[in-house]
Amino acid sequence: MGICDVLRYLMATNRVVLVTGASRGFGRAIAIELAKGGDRVILNFRRSMTEVQGVYDEIQKLGGQAKIYRADMGDESKISGMMDVIRDEYGHLDSIIANASFGIPGPLLTTKSKAWDITMDATARSLLNLAQYGVPLMRQGGHIVSVSSYGHERILPGYGVVGVAKGAVATLTKALAVELAPKGIIVNGVLPGVSPTKSMMAIPGAAEALEMVTQQTPMGRLVTPEEVAKVVAFLVSGHANMIVGQQLIIDGGAILV
């Protein structure tokens, strides 16, 4: 038994946690934070094996435990297949961090039905399916945290159907919280402010927009993925179980001004 195995043994909790979209950005930071706390983390991603492998390697280096699982969150059959693997391998699931999101922005008037379906499936129906297939594995209670944005409350030009999907995530987070609280499953969400992640920087004009938000934010800077990860870790820690059905805004006060 090497030093890493000893570390892994000492750190491990019995908790099994699924983080969707764990290959970069907020999902990456959340996965690493939870693994540091001793959770066994399932790293879901869809496209980039290289990126997710980097997260896996970092967790290994820290003495944590992880497993990589590729599945498109917009595909119900892939979500149910992933939950089958988690059941067979771990026997249970304690937390789901529904972070992955994929959307096709643009003006609503020219949004095609296909773009609506892709966006709503990957961003909103994914949360519903994760709960439908994941809750049966949460036999001792558990936690579900949605990672979303407040782009449904403050209408961002061009965000289009992505903002609509975020509205669905907000309602689903509250409705699931009420439905699942009697089972001891605590559902909440986090709404980070803008951050220069890959999907954000792919939006034309993102650098200028981020600079403007930085200037306007009372804290004088943007939130980091690591700061968001610490809030998620608190929500699933068991110390926050009377916070139910909330979406916590983590943006340094940007929404206030």
- Round to whole Å and give the CA distance between 65 and 34: 10
Site pattern 186..225 for ligand NAP (x: CB under 6 A): ------x-xx-xxxx-------------------------
CA distances (Å), origin 130, targets 81, 127, 142, 166, 197: 11, 5, 13, 16, 24
The active-site residue, picked from 159, 174, 198, 230, is 159
Residue 153: how many other CB atoms lie within 10 Å: 14
- Round to whole Å and give the CA distance between 187 and 229: 16
Task: Supply the minimum distance, in Å, between the C-beta of residue 13 and ligand NAP.
Answer: 24
Task: Supply the minimum distance, in Å, between the C-beta of residue 182 and ligand NAP.
Answer: 27
Q: Which is nearer to ligand NAP, 45 or 56 (CB)?
A: 45
Is there a catalytic annotation at residue 90? no
Task: Supply the minimum distance, in Å, between the C-beta of residue 179 and ligand NAP.
Answer: 22
- Round to whole Å and give the CA distance between 59 and 141: 26
- Round to whole Å and give the CA distance between 18 and 21: 10
Q: Where do the H-state alpha helices sit in 91-159?
A: 113-120, 126-134
Stated as kind and residue range, the H or E segment containing 11 is helix 3-11
- Round to whole Å and give the CA distance between 179 and 170: 15
- Round to whole Å and give the CA distance between 92 and 140: 9
Q: Counting contacts by CB under 6 A, is residue 132 touching ligand NAP?
A: no
Residues in contact with ligand NAP, counted by CB under 6 A, come to a total of 31
Task: Supply the minimum distance, in Å, between the C-beta of residue 202 and ligand NAP.
Answer: 8
The active-site residue, picked from 69, 112, 166, 198, is 166
- Round to whole Å and give the CA distance between 191 and 173: 12
Is there a catalytic annotation at residue 159? yes
Task: Supply the minimum distance, in Å, between the C-beta of residue 12 and ligand NAP.
Answer: 24
What would the DSSP string read from start to end of 219-250? TSSPPPHHHHHHHHHHHTSSTTTT--S-EEEE
Q: Which stretch binds ligand NAP (CB under 6 A): 31-39, 142-150, 170-178, 213-221?
A: 142-150
Site pattern 11..50 for ligand NAP (x: CB under 6 A): ---------xxxxxxxx----------------xxxxx--
Q: Which stretch binds ligand NAP (CB under 6 A): 94-102, 136-144, 178-186, 236-244?
A: 94-102
Q: Please select the residue that binds ligand NAP; options are 8, 41, 42, 72, rule is CB under 6 A.
A: 72
Looking at the annotation, which residues are catalytic? 159, 166
Q: Which residues of this protein are in contact with ligand NAP, per CB under 6 A?
A: 20-27, 44-48, 72-74, 99-102, 122, 147-149, 192, 194-195, 197-200
